A = this chain, B = another copy of it.
Amino acid sequence: MKLTLGMIGGGPDSFIGAVHRKAASLDGRFDLVCGAFSSNPEKSNATGAELGLDPSRVYGSYVDMLNTETGLDAVAIVTPNHLHAHPAIMALERGIHVIIDKPLAFSLQEAYEIRDAVRRSGLVLAITHTYAGYPMVKEARFRVSRGDIGTIRKVFVEYPQGWLTGFLEDAGNKQASWRTDPSKSGAGGSVGDIGTHAAHLAEFVTGSHITHINAMLNTVVPGRKLDDDASALLKFSNGATGVLVATQVAAGEENNLKLRVYGEKGGFEWSHTDPNTLLYKPLDAPVQILRTGTGYVSDAAKNGTRLPAGHPEGYIEAFANIYVEFGRAIDGHISDVPLDAPFAPDFPTVDDGVRGMAFIDAMIRSSTSEQKWTEVTL
């Protein structure tokens, strides 16, 4: 049965709001039935009208929406970071499951508060670390966990973007404006916007946690208020070490998240520029090109793929996979019966979100410290 969904944020200039809507609708699990798309009622109404929503269910305030709507299954929170915690907690307190964009919150403290609310409510919260929704990322995690490459020794994760190479804050670019504004983004710039994705991907695939960070954060573009470039040496809980790069001033780069992990017996490489491929590099044997939609991949990958091999699936599909798993978790919650799939629902949780905020916190602390290593504290 379809689940009903409300949305907070996602008005006219939003990028991620439209992504959430397409992802929610792709597989027919969610019906968007109401929204507070903007605190400006005109803008909210305009978006609601464009989406064909019942005007009476379009709000200029999420507080109004959450106080008015009853029986909503879930709400998607797609606002800037400073507007995450309050609506999330309010929704959970009203019995509504939450799916929320990353990073989880404005601060580590707020992240703790959201986590507490999730625990009190017993409800489901998913955080859209999109890349964990890609089938070949799931395949990499599965194969690492199965031991295909032995103990992980090295982890290299990088997320180069170039879109903030110039000073766009004054150019009327809404995305640039709020993401570089500490009053809306929080204390992290690139480290929060894309560094958290990179860190989550590394932890997701390896099954290990980043325990210590040796970071350099830079504000490369003069006049910018937050970091636009981050890099760090890493230590992981299993003894591996690694390097993380997240930069938004790599002119000419798009969105080129890449993960490479190496163990005693081989390596895996996944790149967002070719997301339906996973390179498997067994020691002393030919590299194998693993592909979505084939017969030889694991159920983890198969469950996240809609099409046979050779039919590219992309970002919206990966995003939709998180919605699908979020839906499965809600189903399980509603029906209180064991899920019929061999897998527990697989989506980034509030704990991943809290880890992301702790990562931002440790990156910033490390970057201002003369000491080499800074511990990630939860």
Q: How far is the CA of A51 from the CA of B162 in the complex (A)?
A: 42
Since A214-B372, A254-B309 are in contact, a sample of 19 more A-B pairs with Cβ atoms closer than 8 Å, ordered by chain A residue number, is: A154-B220, A154-B247, A154-B250, A214-B233, A231-B233, A247-B262, A250-B267, A251-B267, A252-B283, A273-B310, A273-B312, A274-B274, A284-B295, A284-B296, A287-B289, A313-B314, A316-B316, A370-B371, A371-B372
Which residue in chain B gives the minimum CB-CB distance to A166? B283
Interface-facing stretch out of A23-31, A201-209, A350-358: A23-31
A219-276 contacts to B (CB < 8 Å):
220, 229, 231-233, 241, 243, 245, 247, 249-256, 260, 262-267, 272-276
Q: Check if A252 sits within 8 Å of B267, measured CB to CB.
A: yes
What residues of chain B lie closer than 8 Å to A153, measured between beta carbons? 220, 229, 249
Q: Which chain A residues (305-320) contact chain B, with CB distance < 8 Å?
A: 306-317
Asked if A275 meets B312 with Cβ closer than 8 Å, knowing A154-B249, A251-B264, the reply is: yes
Bound together, the chains give a CA A15 to CA B91 distance in angstroms of: 39
Chain B contacts for A315, CB-based, 8 A: 307, 311-313
What mask results when residues 25 to 39 of chain A are scored 1 for a CB within 8 Å of chain B, else 0? Answer: 111100000000000
Give the CA-CA distance A57 to B286 in the complex, in Å: 44
A256 touches B296 (CB 8 A): no
Interface centre among A154, A263, A313 (most CB of B within 10 A): A154
The main secondary structure of chain A at its interface with chain B is loop
Please name all residues of chain B whose beta carbon is closer than 8 Å to the beta carbon of A286 when the two chains form the complex: 280, 288-291, 294, 296
Q: List 6 A-B contacts (CB under 8 A).
A: A25-B25, A154-B250, A156-B160, A166-B283, A253-B267, A276-B314
* A interface residues, how many (CB within 8 angstroms): 88
In the A-B complex, list the 6 residue pairs whose CB atoms are closest, starting with the nearest. Answer: A252-B281, A254-B310, A255-B310, A312-B314, A286-B288, A311-B315
Residues of B within 8 A of A251 (CB): 149, 262-267, 281-283
In the complex, whether A146 has a CB less than 8 A from a CB of chain B is no
Q: Is the CB of A266 within 8 A of B252?
A: yes
Residues in chain B near residue A288, CB distance under 8 A: 286-289
The answer to whether A19 has its CB under 8 Å from any CB of chain B is yes
Q: How far is the CB of A283 from chain B (nearest CB, A)?
A: 4
CB neighbours (8 Å) of A1 from chain B are: 52
Partner of A252, one of B22, B233, B262, B296: B262
Say yes or no: A310 contacts B161, CB within 8 Å: yes
> Taking the complex as formed, is A298 at the interface, i.e. its CB lies under 8 A from any CB of chain B?
no
Residue A40 CB within 8 A of the other chain: no
Which residues on B sit within 8 Å (CB–CB) of A344?
Answer: none
Q: How far is the CA of A15 from the CA of B232 in the complex (A)?
A: 35
Hey, which chain B residues are within 8 Å of A160, CB to CB?
156, 260
Which residues in B have their C-beta under 8 angstroms from that of A14?
none
Given contacts A162-B283, A286-B280, A316-B313, contact A306 B264 (CB under 8 A): no
Within 8 A of B (CB), among A34-83: 51-52
Does any Cβ of B come within 8 Å of A4's Cβ? no
Contact call A260/B255, Cβ cutoff below 8 A: no
CB pair B25–A252 under 8 Å, yes or no, is: no
Specify which chain B residues have a CB less than 8 angstroms from the CB of A265 in the assembled complex. 251
